Structure 1
Amino acid sequence: MTVSRLSDIPGIGVDKIGDTADALRNRDILRLENLDTDIRPPAGALAATHAAIDDDDANSYLPFTGQAALREAVAARMHRSFGVTYDPQTECIISAGGLAGIFNTLLSILEPGDEVVLTDPTYAGLINRVRLAGGVPKFVRLVPGARGWRLDLDSLAAAIGSRTRALLVMSPSMPSGFVANAEEWAAIAAHCRRADAWLVYDAAMERIVFDGHPVIQPAGLPEMRERTITVGSVSKEYRMIGWRVGWIVGPAPIMADVRLTSLSNVVCQVGIGMPGATAALTSNDDGVAAAVAEWQARRDRLLAELHDLPVVRPSGGWSLLIDTEQLGLSPDEASRLLLAKADVAATPMKGWGPQAGRYLRFVYANEPVARLADIRERVRAAWGL
């Protein structure tokens, strides 16, 4: 019998589509279903990781909060990029990937029944972790438009209540590619202050923004440093998915609780992964700008090829959404037809928020522009459109 904490937690869908595509062993399949990328990690990160394999200090549980050099690198990045200062000893903890950091943070701030505000659509893994931590998700609509997604500020106000404990915001957001603008961040911050709520900021993709959009760190907004917990990782920006290294930064009092939760949960991070992460954060050439330019080119190709279909323009991130319900197809059926008839793997968004169930996601991080050139013909072959 399924335990109660899992009763409202569906899968994320990606695993099923990915497993099916893997089983076909067909290199012609466009892998648009999973958040992988073919762009290499920073050279310095690769070299440091190779060296760590022979370093006995990397083969250790200690220190439980993460290697000092990496915590210092994270704090330095926060100060250098956003002017927000953190003590690497008391206000930074290294986690076994960003999502472990999110989960440990939620476990540290939520009482059973506390409400957590999230955008809709949003990553199913975030929704599921809120529920696993005993929280209740409350959703704020993202509204699609000709220039992309915008946060419905009336919906945001309506989602805030007496049980609101946190707002969990990702920007750029996955799967939509929504990037919060200054007005939206100001509204989020105002509600956090008014409700005395935490802002848990998922910064996994914060520099993967397109079209000249600025990168805004909410901890730098007025009166927000003491109520913002930022969770980042090397997985997306630095293309280091397999390293499973992330970080949590926030004010010292709550970080003491996050430290206890971390010790009680995953215990420690990937020892041989941390030197590579440190090298990535301290490199003079981390490759992020070049990678972002390439991902934007891939986004632009998809938008051009699919211009006559109900695709919502992403302002950042690794993926975009297409509203297949407008085409008379459920996302499940659209996904099935794409794989069966056109060698395209794509994930339906069921479970990724109340309105997300009408969308199919295309990930462009793992397929070069040349491979995307015939995507419209593949869609036509699959859907007859």
Structure 2
Amino acid sequence: MTNRKRPQRLNEVAGIGVDRMGALADASGGELLRLENLDVDIPPDPAAVERTRRAVSEDGANSYLPFIGQIGLRQAAARHVSRSSGVDYAGERQCIISAGGLAGILNVLLATVDVGDEVIVTDPTYAGLLNRIRLAGGVPKLVPFVFTPGAEWRLDREAMRAQIGPKTRAMLLMSPSMPSGGYFDRDDWAWIAGLCVAHDLTLILDAAMERLLFDGRSVVHPASFPGMAERTITVGSSAKELRMIGWRVGWIVAPESYMPDLVAVSIANCVVPVGIAQEAVAIALDRSHTSLPDYAGELERRRDVLLRELDGLPVGVPAGGWSLLLRVSDFGIDGAKMSDRLLAEKVAATGMAGWGERHGKEFIRFVFSNEPVERLRGVGAKIRAAARI
């Protein structure tokens, strides 16, 4: 066995826990309630599925080219971000297709963050985003959401201001945030925009869930604020909003000043996703502007069932997204212990170690995108049994 030195960039890269729980749930043969993984049981747009089937036999889809993505998808992604932001983006000049949203995030970080640069994120944040900041050589600086049991998560504005220092280069933010469902309203985004402009920061927007909003909320895109169009990079994905997880398609829409570096990194890293996926995603993205409200409404119904089931327990109310969090430290255990106990109750759920500093291992997350309302009913009794309350 060689005495191999582990690369330093991996020292703080943490596992996300989902793979172990997913394997246990898969092995159960459907016996477990699947609340552990960011999957969805609602199928993609049938037109996108049919287009994928046809593309398998098309020579033009069996290609690496174009290296920055098929023009039809780039135009569709630019139209989509233009509609959300009010900024006029051109797909020919301001969009790159990536092999999934997270690959797009890594490419953006590699193109904008130098070794030792600090990147502002919320606490909690998906561990995969934190890991990608570290892989790019950056340092995550966590800003805690304010957690109040039974209420929505709120941005701690002063904590965000306090985290900005001379090494801060960028912010990497989501609204609604994963996994908390925390939402930035117009006033929050105005505050964030003011900080970005004042400190000359790049804002990397992970827009994977931006339209999965509840309680009548609307999308607020940060590029719409003064001084932000020239410093906001939007990364989208086919996974959450289009329910096309296995297609592994993402897009980066950015100001032209960033494009040379983004193109260089994208071509050097993973180039594009499979050709058979791209036109299908373009179709689904264009059609989603009329079909998505029904889907978001179904997610809201599932959230509401879980909230009723967990009434009186220390949960954060998500304003959107696919998941909600329960603070299990109130019961004298951590998320990993709660996860083990829930397996005995036939529930698969994953702890939060590595997903935050203040809001990490003390919580467990429940993903409600993969189980219908009928199967979610009654889960409260199982969760209380696992918590032994």
Give the TM-score category using the shorter length.
Answer: over 0.9
User: Secondary structure of 1:272's partner?
Assistant: helix
* Paired residue type of 2:171: L
Aligned partner of 2:238 in structure 1 is 234
Q: Structure 2: how far apart are the matches of 1:205 and 1:142?
A: 18
Query: Of 254, 257, 271, which aligns to 2:258?
Result: 254
User: Secondary structure of 2:307's partner?
Assistant: helix
Q: Structure 2: how far apart are the matches of 1:351 and 1:199?
A: 23
Query: Of 137, 140, 150, which aligns to 2:140?
Result: 137
* Paired residue type of 1:109: T
1:190-229 matches, cutoff 5 A: 190-229=194-233
Aligned partner of 2:377 in structure 1 is 373
Q: Structure 2: how far apart are the matches of 1:79 and 1:10?
A: 35
Unaligned residue ranges in structure 2 (runs of 5+)? none
Query: Of 142, 145, 156, which aligns to 1:152?
Result: 156
Aligned partner of 2:249 in structure 1 is 245
Quick one: structure 1 residues 4 and 81, their matched pair in 2 at CA, closer, same or farther if it must change by over 3 Å? closer
Q: Structure 1: how far apart are the matches of 2:83 and 2:225?
A: 16
Query: 8 Å contact 1:238–1:286 — kept in the other structure?
Result: no
Query: Of 53, 56, 60, which aligns to 1:57?
Result: 60
Unaligned residue ranges in structure 1 (runs of 5+)? none
Query: 8 Å contact 2:242–2:288 — kept in the other structure?
Result: no
Deviation at 1:44, TM superposition (A): 1.4
Q: Structure 1: how far apart are the matches of 2:84 and 2:140?
A: 31
1:269-308 matches, cutoff 5 A: 269-283=273-287, 287-308=291-312
Quick one: structure 1 residues 285 and 225, their matched pair in 2 at CA, closer, same or farther if it must change by over 3 Å? closer
User: Secondary structure of 1:268's partner?
Assistant: coil
Q: Structure 2: how far apart are the matches of 1:2 and 1:377?
A: 45
Q: Does structure 1 residue 40 correspond to structure 2 residue 40? A: no
* Paired residue type of 1:343: K
Query: 8 Å contact 2:81–2:253 — kept in the other structure?
Result: no
Quick one: structure 1 residues 285 and 197, their matched pair in 2 at CA, closer, same or farther if it must change by over 3 Å? closer
State the identity %.
51
Quick one: structure 1 residues 320 and 14, their matched pair in 2 at CA, closer, same or farther if it must change by over 3 Å? same
Query: 8 Å contact 1:33–1:362 — kept in the other structure?
Result: yes
Quick one: structure 1 residues 195 and 284, their matched pair in 2 at CA, closer, same or farther if it must change by over 3 Å? closer
The one-character-per-residue Cα deviations of 1:14-38 (angstroms, maximum 9, x if unpaired) are: 1121122223x23120111100000
Quick one: structure 1 residues 286 and 277, their matched pair in 2 at CA, closer, same or farther if it must change by over 3 Å? farther
Q: Structure 2: how far apart are the matches of 1:48 and 1:358?
A: 44
User: Secondary structure of 1:225's partner?
Assistant: coil
* RMSD of aligned Cα (Å): 1.2
Query: Of 91, 96, 114, which aligns to 1:93?
Result: 96
Q: Does structure 1 residue 353 correspond to structure 2 residue 356? A: yes
Deviation at 1:284, TM superposition (A): 6.8
Query: 8 Å contact 2:84–2:220 — kept in the other structure?
Result: no
TM-score (norm 1): 0.97
User: Secondary structure of 1:44's partner?
Assistant: helix
Deviation at 1:295, TM superposition (A): 0.5
Query: 8 Å contact 1:42–1:286 — kept in the other structure?
Result: no
Deviation at 1:219, TM superposition (A): 0.9
User: Secondary structure of 1:148's partner?
Assistant: coil
Query: Of 36, 59, 71, which aligns to 1:68?
Result: 71
Deviation at 1:285, TM superposition (A): 6.6
The one-character-per-residue Cα deviations of 1:130-165 (angstroms, maximum 9, x if unpaired) are: 000000111111012343100001100001111110
Aligned partner of 2:109 in structure 1 is 106
The one-character-per-residue Cα deviations of 1:102-147 (angstroms, maximum 9, x if unpaired) are: 0000000111100000000000001010000000111111012343
Deviation at 1:78, TM superposition (A): 2.1
Stretch deviating more after TM superposition (77-86 or 162-171): 77-86
User: Secondary structure of 2:147's partner?
Assistant: strand
Aligned partner of 2:85 in structure 1 is 82
Q: Does structure 1 residue 165 correspond to structure 2 residue 166? A: no
Q: Structure 1: how far apart are the matches of 2:208 and 2:293?
A: 15
TM-score (norm 2): 0.96
Query: 8 Å contact 1:121–1:141 — kept in the other structure?
Result: yes
Query: 8 Å contact 2:118–2:169 — kept in the other structure?
Result: yes
Query: 8 Å contact 1:44–1:283 — kept in the other structure?
Result: no
Query: 8 Å contact 1:312–1:321 — kept in the other structure?
Result: yes
Deviation at 1:286, TM superposition (A): 5.5
Q: Structure 2: how far apart are the matches of 1:134 and 1:81?
A: 31
The list of structure 1 runs, each at least 4 consecutive aligned residues, that deviate by more than 6 angstroms after superposition, is none
The one-character-per-residue Cα deviations of 1:47-102 (angstroms, maximum 9, x if unpaired) are: 11111111111110000110000011111122234321112122100000000000
Aligned partner of 2:182 in structure 1 is 178
Q: Structure 1: how far apart are the matches of 2:339 and 2:154?
A: 26
Query: 8 Å contact 2:322–2:367 — kept in the other structure?
Result: yes
